[in-house]
Every structure is written in C-alpha cells, then in structure tokens.
Structure 1
Amino acid sequence: MAQARCPLPSLLLVLVAVVLLVPRAAGYPWQVCGNTGSFTANSTYQANLALLAIALPKNISSSPDLFATTIVGAIPELVSALALCRGDANATTCSACLVTAFQDVQNVCSLDRSAAIYYDPCILYYSNDDSFLSSADNVASASTNRINLRNVTSDPARFNRLVGALVNATAEYAAYNSTRRYASGEADFDQEYPKVYSWAQCTPDLTPAQCRVCLAGIIAEMPRLFTDRVGGRVLGIRCSYRYEVFSFLNSPVMVQLAAESGNSGSPTPAMGPTSVTPSAAGGGEY
C-alpha cells in the first residue's frame, strides 16, 4: 500500500509553525519578551543596555529595600529598568541574581527593546518606554503566572477558601504593615497538606493603598487560574503573590491563620480587607 509522503518544503513549513507556537517563557527562570520593538546589534541602545547591566546590580545592593530603578541614555535610545528582590533575600544574593538576570534575558529575548525575567530571588524589567516608572500597575505584557498542576483531593472547596483568605491576609499585611511591602504567611489545613504557605510583595515605592489595589487586581484571578490547585503564583513588575503547600521562603512567617472549619462554599476569595494576625514567630515590619 502506498504511503502518503509530506514534501520537504511542506514539512519545513510545519516545523517552523510549531516552533513559532512554542512560548518563549516556558521554563525557570521565566522570561517575557517585550512588544515595544527591537534594536540592532552594536547600536547605541545595546550600549546603553550594557551600561544598565553594570549599574543596576550595584544600585540595588546598596538599597535598604533591595529595589532600584535606573535610566540610561536619551530618547530615542533611552533604556529604563526596574529591579526588585524578594523580601527574604540579602544584598549579595540580590546583586548576583540581577547579574545573572541580565545575562539570561538577553540570550532569550535577544535584541528586544523590552523584556522581563522572573527568578525566585529577583525580578528584572527594562524597556524603551519609561512610563512604567511612574505607574502603580503591573505591565500586563510583562506579567506571567505559573500553576502547580497537582489538585487537592481532600475538601477542595475548603482548601480554596483557606487559600483565598491566606493570600488576602498576606497581601493586606504586605501593603499596610511592612515598609518593604513584603509579607509571608501560613495557615493550617489538614492531614493531606498540614500547612499552606504564602508570599505577597509590591515595589516599595508604592503607597499602601496602591500596593493593595495592585495585589487585589491579580488576586481576583485566583478562581480562574488556581481553583483546586495546590500551588500557584502571579508575577508582575509592580506586585506579585504565591502560595504553596510547602515552605519556600527563608524568613519568619509574618501572618498566621488558623485552620477553617465548616461547610464548603464558593472558592472565590474575598476581596475586601482581611483581619491579620501577626505570627509570634517573627511578625513586624521589614
């Protein structure tokens, strides 16, 4: 029986199409390549980006909040950047993370005028459009989310409510009880997953209200993204959060919630202010 054969040119077209459909930010660290145009090799923009890669790690390591913004050059070759390290990082880890970030993101997002990259210890974003420096919102095109594909099996509705309450409480503490706009939390659940852990953080130049609004916006996506999931995170250049059933931070817990008891209900997290109880293990401001 004759077999159908795919002509070589057609096969090449199929392979090219498949490659184009593969996301550019698939694995850790997570890169999000920009949509504000490209620059040419050996251009003034590339030279300014190289200067930025030297200046920003130094600037952030001397910042008490481990946060820095930097602008190099002038329009139309201006490059602006924002970098933030997680609240449990130290200056050495933070600076080293940013050095690696500049190397990695330029390999993956080569010649893109804007790009973001997310590691556990740090985030980096740069662009030829500096409007993000005066904005309190995440840049939608530079944000990403990651989902733990395992599902909770014991009382998922109660788990969803607990996660919603914990993430909101952690966000509330980060916005209103920490000058670094950072908080960690934990809650008791059950024998399957004894603890649920959380993290929320904004850039420290945001006001408490701006931070809470930013976090509320991305927390509102929880039911769509993370219902029944044992872990997930939304990462943005202005605010981010994460929850897991394992500990992933290197600092004392700042928010402690007791296990919820009662009947199952809607998994939608409450978006209003949440009562926060600082943990005896290490509450307080950062």
Structure 2
Amino acid sequence: MFVQQISGAFHLFLITIFAIAFSINCQPTYNTHICLGPENDTAPAEYIASLNSLFDSLSSKASSESFYNGSSNGIYSLYLCRGDVSTSTCRICVNNATQQLRQRCPSDKRAIIWYDECMLRYSNMNFFGREQTLPRLLMWNSQNNTSPEQQNYGALGLIFSLVDSVPRTDLMFDTKDGIVDNVQRGYALLQCTRDINSSSCRSCLATLTNESQNCCQIRRGWRILSPSCSLRYEEYGFYEQPSAPAPQSTPDGGGKNTKTIVIATVSSVAAVVAALLGLWYYLFRCRRKSRRGEGITEEILLRNFKGSNRPELMEGGILVTEGEDSGEMHYIGLTTILAATNNFSNENKLGEGGFGPVYKGKLPNGKEVAVKSFH
C-alpha cells in the first residue's frame, strides 16, 4: 500500500513536470519585416477583411503543415517553417507572424516577415513559382574572424556543398557541419520555398552565396534571407540535430514482487530526474535562442573528372572551355576554387605529382573537379 502511494505520487509529480514543460513555449526569434505596399495605395476595407480571414486560416494550417501557399479573394500568401523545427514551433511562429503583420503593416497590400523559425509573405500579385531574391536581408555576427584579412573559404565550401544538395531534397532544406579552418567547426543551413523548382532553388541559393562573399566572409557568422530562399552560417550549432532512434525494449522475465517494486521505484525516480533535466534544457535553449548574436599567387590547373575541358589560367581564377568545339567559356573565380577545395585542406588532397599536389573539390553547380596547385 505504501509503495503504491509513493508510486502514485511520483506519477503525479511527473505529470506536473511535463505539464509545466509543455505549457512553456519558446517564442520565435524575430528578424525583420518589410511592408511593401505603396504609401499612396492603401488596401481597402474589403481587402483587409479578407487578409485577416486569411491570416486565421494560415495559423490553423501551420498546426499540421510546415509549408503552404494558396490564394483567396485575390490575395496570394505563403509561409515556410524551417525544416528542422517541430510542428508546435511552426504553428507558434506562423501565429506570431500573422499577428505582427496585422500590427506593423495594417493597410499594405504586400508584406513579408522573417523569423529564425519561419517566414511569411502575402501579396495582391501572384508570385507563386517565381524565384525572387529581393527584398533581401543581410545579418552578421558583430565579431570578425581572428584573422579578418583572411576569408573563411572552409565556410564557403560548406555552403557550396549545400547549394548542390538542397534543390534535390524533398523539403528543399538541408544542414551540414564540418571543420572549416583546421580547428573551428562550422554549421550551415540552406532552404528554399517549395513553390519554386529545383533549378530556381539552385539559382536563388547561388545568388545569396555570391552575396555572402561580398559581405560576410570575414565574419564569424551570417545569414541572408530572401523571399524564395535563405542561408545561414554560424560557428555554433543553431539548428536541431536529428534525434537518434529509440533503443528497442526487451520483454521482462517473471521475477518476484520485491524486484518489481524496486524496479518500478527506480524507474520512477529516473523518469523524474530525466524530466527535470529535460525541463532545464528546454528553458536553457529558449533563453539561448532568444539572445541575438552575437592574396594568393599560386597558378592553378583545373580538370573536370568527367570530360576533357581545356582550362586557361588567368590571374585570380580560371577560364574553362566547355568541350572542344562548343565555344562556351566560363570563368571560375579563385574564391570559388578555394571554397571548393576547403582552402586546399589535407582532407581534400588526392595525391601529389612532380609539379605539386592535386585536390578534389565540388563547384556550386555540383561538378566534381580536380585542382592542381603548382609550386
């Protein structure tokens, strides 16, 4: 009887802990919004009424769908939740986005808002299926790299690999981490809206990647957000890692009542401890997420693994002829080559010949290349 009372108390305490944990929701991290309606073209009352009705339906849809696009009464709307967030986080983010747009853009026919966890936009013009990289938001860590004069080619290489993989995924979303400068681990996340095709997704991400080379390579972290795609790079893990599969349970044998009581009691205590630790981690993660962030002269010979392209050396890059008689020529910048080979890291080294080492790499378009560095 006494054991049953203790066990009941443990279960009640456990339920209370989980109730508290699930009642505390991490609020999404707001980035920015843009009201796009012309000042002299405010939306009429009928449009605003339809928009409010649309916002209500979007919040409802986000309870089960991470992406949605549709139109109603001449209003085209779209939301996209980050590919790693939970359904609950998605719903909360979309709900916050609709509330903020009601307040911040009350009479605009077009608007867009970005959070860390989601983005939402609407317009009186059909934008579905169109690649759009403007308006664009650039954000970066206020701290520079320890060597500001050196660009982070390892980070760029990490992003290049995702530019290749993201358009081929069902969710048009992917993450990757790896050592980027022989010591520091970097984390990258790229995503496209799922109303555009894979070709447009790749083009959109390539545009943002090129932008990052101009603005952000000396930074420790950055993100670039656009209507059709986004990318983010940090030196800490900011996205949710895939959870490991739960271990298979094994059926228990017979056993005496005393063993059952001990096992049940120990299991209850362990469950309470696990719940407390889980609650602490949940709150800690919420607090952490709410805080805001924080000349090479070598000649290089590039050869495609497949085909017989003829390269011509140029200062700062390579001019590659596509095929013998095609007449098509493409300039490959030195920055792109350094990123593709992770700044000629040892991990990318294929071997060494009489004239110098050869490194493997992958260009943003997915082509695998071999790069020979002459000494």
Find out whether 1:134 has 2:124 as its counterpart.
no
> Taking structure 1 as reference, are residues 172 and 139 closer, same or farther at Cα in structure 2, changes over 3 Å only?
closer
1:102 equivalent in structure 2: 98
1:272 equivalent in structure 2: 365
Corresponding residue pairs, total: 227
| Cα deviation, residue 190, structure 1 | 4.8
For 2:142, give the aligned amino acid.
Answer: L
CA deviation vs aligned residue, 1:181-200 (integer Å, no higher than 9, x gap): 10001121358x62111000
> Taking structure 1 as reference, are residues 133 and 149 closer, same or farther at Cα in structure 2, changes over 3 Å only?
same
Match of 1:187 among 178, 182, 203: 178
State how far apart, in whole Å, the 1-side matches of 2:133 and 2:107 are: 20
Match of 1:39 among 39, 42, 45: 42
Which is higher, the Rg of structure 1 or of structure 2?
A: 2
Greater strand share, 1 or 2? 2
> Taking structure 1 as reference, are residues 139 and 161 closer, same or farther at Cα in structure 2, changes over 3 Å only?
closer
1:281 equivalent in structure 2: none
| Cα deviation, residue 219, structure 1 | 1.0
Match of 2:222 among 232, 250, 258: 232
1:165 equivalent in structure 2: 157
State how far apart, in whole Å, the 1-side matches of 2:51 and 2:171 are: 27
Match of 2:137 among 144, 147, 159: 144
2:85 equivalent in structure 1: 89
State how far apart, in whole Å, the 2-side matches of 1:93 and 1:220 are: 31
1:251 equivalent in structure 2: 241
Q: Is residue 84–residue 123 contact of structure 1 (8 Å, CA) maintained in 2? A: yes
State how far apart, in whole Å, the 2-side matches of 1:162 and 1:258 are: 5
CA deviation vs aligned residue, 1:216-257 (integer Å, no higher than 9, x gap): 11111112111211111111121110101111001249xxx9
Percent of matched pairs sharing the same residue:
28
Higher mean displacement: 27-36 or 120-129: 27-36
Runs of 4+ in 1 over 6 A off after TM superposition: none
Using the size of structure 1 for normalisation, the TM-score is: 0.71
What SS does the aligned partner of 1:89 have? coil
5+ residue gaps in structure 2? 1-28, 244-340, 347-361, 369-375
State how far apart, in whole Å, the 2-side matches of 1:164 and 1:184 are: 14
What SS does the aligned partner of 1:221 have? helix
State how far apart, in whole Å, the 1-side matches of 2:170 and 2:83 are: 11
Q: Is residue 208–residue 224 contact of structure 2 (8 Å, CA) maintained in 1? A: yes
2:338 equivalent in structure 1: none
State how far apart, in whole Å, the 2-side matches of 1:62 and 1:116 are: 22
C-alpha RMSD of the superposition: 2.7
Q: Is residue 129–residue 195 contact of structure 2 (8 Å, CA) maintained in 1? A: no
Find out whether 1:48 has 2:44 as its counterpart.
no
Choose between structure 1 and 2 for higher RCO, CA contacts under 8 A separated by at least 6 residues.
Answer: 1
For 1:211, give the aligned amino acid.
Answer: C
5+ residue gaps in structure 1? 1-26, 263-268, 276-286
